[in-house]
Amino acid sequence: MSGPLILAVESSCDETGIAVIEGGRRILANVVASQVAMHAASGGIVPEVAARAHLRWVVPVLDAACADAGIAWSDLDAVAVTYGPGLAGSLLVGLNFAKALAWVHGLPFVGVNHLEGHVYAAWLRDPDEADRPEPVFPLVALVVSGGHTFLVEMRDHLTYELLGSTVDDAAGEAFDKVGRLLGLGYPGGPAIGRAAESATACDIAFPRAWLPGTYDFSFSGLKTAARRIVETARTEAGIAGDPTAPLPGAVVAELAWGFQASVVDVLATKTIRAAREAGARSIVVGGGVAANTALRARLAADADALGIPLIVPRPGLCTDNGAMIGAAGARRFAAGERAALDLDARPSLPLATRR
Ligand code: KG4
Ligand code: ZN
């Protein structure tokens, strides 16, 4: 395979990721140092702690990525980096590091929107993987992460039309908050997914905010309902007065299942409707919540019924990583885009505007 060889740096949140990507698709190296265990102790991300952890890990991660890729600096065509959206302190570490690399090695420099990276993860393939189908335009992409939840339509590379987005919490944020309510620790998303596997139904109705006539999402009502449901379950279990007492495992599993079913139902229903109404030829899903087994299974079944190919990266490429930044960066590089070395971090950088 040919095409540009891109070194990509991601540090927008709590993963330090550096990857080497060939031709916008093939992963030659993809090293991720996760801070999850560190943030679990505080029950969430403390921005300054996250920034300092990037500072600690960025060089070892680069060394590991270079060793994995087995390339020389002279082989590289460009350095790509996430410049937003994300936590300012976290972004600054990766951005400044990538600038220094581009400057020292005289390489072109490309700024990438983190959310575009989540979309472009759908183009990635592992080195030993047989060529996998590429997403075809027009497509509808669902991005579901810890900070964002939205649907975009793409009629071509690097162009996005916003179909709808969350009006309050992101889906991942709701998973994390409800995970905490259920005593599952941080991050709640993977923990809820695992807990829900021990249940097959839930007797309690978790609400679904359909926001009819829009592709928008809302998860704050569901979060409030979940709090009330958990309080009732604690009263019924006779532990309402003891905040440290855990709910019985079977109850946690059932409530995790019910909550997850609500989120999955709304995300899948709106994505499939958007794909049908847009006349999409493929459906792409990305972001940490796309690692969720129930969401993947439901979307696969619904897309199959609709006859539209669904492309969801493997779970490790749904959560934050450098490879996805390399995939998007390669497209921008091929389109002739170059960023100046005074590029600033943009914590609230948007991806798309509403039509
Ligand atoms: O994309 P990501 O790694 O970081 C952001 O850009 O935000 O997404 C992280 C989010 C967290 O809220 C996490 O709980 C959620 O993705 N997540 C999951 C799963 N794995 C990660 N949510 C549900 N099920 C999962 N398996
Ligand atoms: Zn992300």
Residue 40: predicted pLDDT: 87
The answer to whether 42 and 88 are in contact (CB under 8 A) is: no
Name the amino acid, one letter, at 66: C
Distance CA 222, CA 170 (A): 12
Whether residue 1 has pLDDT greater than 60: no
Read off the pLDDT of residues 111-126 as tens digits, 9 standing for 90 and up: 999 999 999 999 999 9
Distance CA 269, CA 303 (A): 10
Residue 354: pLDDT band (50, 70, 90) is confident
Read off the pLDDT of residues 137-161 as tens digits, 9 standing for 90 and up: 999 999 999 999 999 999 999 999 9
Read off the pLDDT of residues 242-299 as tens digits, 9 standing for 90 and up: 989 999 999 999 999 999 999 999 999 999 999 999 999 999 999 999 999 999 999 9
- Atom 2 in ligand 1: which residue has the minimum CA distance? 288
Name the amino acid, one letter, at 44: G
Read off the pLDDT of residues 199-221 as tens digits, 9 standing for 90 and up: 999 999 999 999 999 999 999 99
Distance CA 142, CA 226 (A): 24
The answer to whether 245 and 251 are in contact (CB under 8 A) is: no
- Atom 22 in ligand 1: which residue has the minimum CA distance? 189
CA of 195 to the centre of ligand 1 (A): 15
Residue 42: predicted pLDDT: 87
Whether residue 355 has pLDDT greater than 80: no
Which residues have beta carbons under 5 A from ligand 2 (an ion)?
145, 320
Residue partners of 14: CB distance under 8 A and separation at least 6? 34, 35, 36, 39, 45, 50, 53, 90, 320
Ligand 1 atom with least separation from CA of 173: 12
Read off the pLDDT of residues 84-99 as tens digits, 9 standing for 90 and up: 999 999 999 999 999 9
Structure tokens at 29: 């190296």
CA of 327 to the centre of ligand 1 (A): 20
Residue 130: pLDDT band (50, 70, 90) is confident
Residue 131: predicted pLDDT: 79
Nearest to 223, CA basis, from 193, 267, 179, 164: 179
CA of 330 to the centre of ligand 2 (A): 18
What is the CB < 6 Å shell around ligand 1?
13, 145-147, 172, 175-176, 187-190, 193, 287-289, 291-292, 319-320
Residue 271: predicted pLDDT: 98
CA of 95 to the centre of ligand 2 (A): 16
Whether residue 180 has pLDDT greater than 90: yes
Residue 116: predicted pLDDT: 98
